[in-house]
Amino acid sequence: MSQGQATDPLNSIPGVPGRLIFSRENGLFGDHPIVRGRGASERLNFVVTYGGQSLKGPKEGVPFLRLGDSARDRSLVEKGTVSAAGRCQGLALVHGKGRVVVLGEAAVLSAQFFGPEQPVGMNDPGTDNRQLALNIMHWLSGLLPAGSEAAAEKPRSDRGPSPSAPRPGP
């Protein structure tokens, strides 16, 4: 972890470089089941983080909230910034028989307010931050596949038969 604050003037809320935007539009989502969910209704499209730091995991880790080439780490101790390109704020990896998710920013999974009118995390309207939290739990619990296999296209047994599935006869 960088032990600083990740900022990105090109991929953030205008005027607030520490409120980072990860979206399909800016291409900062990594290819991972957490991003795809179990179908279109669980697919992530727009996630906002609220400061935090960048991180870089082991080679088997899959970044799913990737930082852009314009991202910078601002030191909380020393003056100045360094490039955070190639780093991320969220990654997932399989470790032994378990699964691990590491986030460099915690407010994305919170539900809070900074002041009376500044929603953060899962309270922030228009974001998929709530779905991100659910998708992380689904992946950690095994409801989503471990790797990059196309989970979104597989039918889910807990939803019952699809409307077009053949129905048993009388």
Q: What pTM does this model have? A: 0.83
The per-residue pLDDT of the chain, averaged, comes to: 86
Q: What are the tokens at 35?
A: 């991003």
pLDDT in tens, 50-97: 989 999 999 999 999 999 999 999 887 778 889 999 999 999 999 999
The reported pLDDT for the residue numbered 148 is 56
Nearest alpha carbon to residue 89 among 101, 75, 74: 101
Terminal C-alpha separation, the chain = 61
The reported pLDDT for the residue numbered 143 is 93
> Is pLDDT above 70 for 31?
yes
74 Cβ contact list (under 8 Å, min separation 6)? 4, 5, 6, 7, 80, 81
- Supply φ then ψ for residue 137, to 5 degrees: -65, -40
How many Å apart are CA 87 and CA 95, to the nearest integer? Answer: 20
**Is residue 160 left, alpha or beta, with left meaning phi > 0 and alpha meaning psi from -120 to 50?**
left
The reported pLDDT for the residue numbered 3 is 83
> Is pLDDT above 90 for 150?
no
> Is pLDDT above 80 for 122?
yes
The reported pLDDT for the residue numbered 166 is 35
